[in-house]
Amino acid sequence: MTFSQKLQQVTSSLGIGLCVGLDPDPDRLPEQFSPDLNGISDFLHEIISITKPFAAAYKVNTAFYEAWGASGWQVLENVAFSLPPNTLRIADAKRGDIGNTTKHYAKAFFERLPFDAITLSPYMGGDTLQAYLENPDKGAFTLALTTNPGSADLQHFSDGRTMLYQKVLSLIPTWAPHKNLGAVVGATHPQELKQIRADFPQVPLLVPGIGAQGGDAQAIVDASGPHRAPVLVNVSRAIIFPQDEKNFPLNIADACKKFCQLLNIKIEK
């Protein structure tokens, strides 16, 4: 199944899917888990089992695993192989390097590990994304307009008509003939998100920022529909670390239900 078909399959009739971000901050684990790699590993396996009925995709941010060195990578590998294969499994790695080197990253995430997609930085240009896009069954999401305040520093740099993030979006069809390249656009920019959906309706999106970062879920729903490429809406902290940690695991499921409702996603699994 191609990346494009899988993305269609995991998302709702409106083309929206909930992506659960597995970013295990050891300082925020519920008290029944030890704040070490064993605790993190147990916690993540529980999270996956609770969120499975709601998740269209999972996103694993490599930073939280690399912080533990080689043993952290072992946990990352175990987690990757535990993700349900009927979801879109995303390595949130934001890698970018020259061609000779990216082959090795592609091998790491797509051959050694079973990820379906990876996040990438576009700064180095289209040739540096190719190793991840050659196989139509795998895909990538390039950073475009990110959630953080500093995103304006370069992403708003403009030639008078086009801002850098729009330039990135406009290059996506050239860079990805297999239609397996989407873009990361933060929900903290609802106006721009709406405009991006109108200007680039065929670009799939990975949208972070509606949980802990305060982005706008309704803007995503309003900008979705059957004639547009699918959107995966990522929530990390607001699902895996809900405020009321006493009722774990019930509150995790409740958080998923809440976000599915906000995003008009019917639970069918």
Which residues form the catalytic set? 94
* Residue 99, SS3 per DSSP: helix
Nearer CB in complex with its own copies: 54/175: 175
Torsion sign (Cα): 86, 234, 179, 128? negative
98 binds its own copies (CB under 8 A): yes
* Contacts of its own copies in 16-55 (CB under 8 A): 23, 25
8 binds its own copies (CB under 8 A): no
99 binds its own copies (CB under 8 A): yes
Pair of tokens at residue 225: 């529909």
State the DSSP code for 23: -
Largest CA distance in the chain: 55
CB under 8 A: which stretch of 34-42, 66-74, 198-206, 239-247 binds its own copies? 66-74
CB under 8 A: which stretch of 63-71, 217-225, 238-246, 249-257 binds its own copies? 63-71
Nearer CB in complex with its own copies: 33/54: 33
Using alpha carbons, select from 197, 203, 189 the residue that is nearest to residue 155: 189
Residue type, 20: V
Instruction: Locate the DSSP E strands across 101-259.
Output: 117-120, 139-145, 181-185, 205-207, 231-235
155 binds its own copies (CB under 8 A): yes
The DSSP annotation for 151-169 comes to GHHHHT-BSSS-BHHHHHH
Q: Apex CA 96: angle with CA 229 and CA 170, to 5°?
A: 35
CB under 8 A: which stretch of 149-157, 190-198, 239-247, 251-259 binds its own copies? 149-157
Q: How far apart are the C-alpha atoms of 238 and 223, rounded to whole Å?
A: 23
* Contacts of its own copies in 105-134 (CB under 8 A): 105, 107-108, 112-113, 121-128
Binding track over 159-198 against its own copies, x by CB under 8 A: xx---x--xx--x---------------------------
**Which residues form the interface with its own copies (CB under 8 A)?**
23, 25, 61, 63-64, 66-74, 76-77, 94-102, 104-105, 107-108, 112-113, 121-128, 143, 146-155, 157-160, 164, 167-168, 171
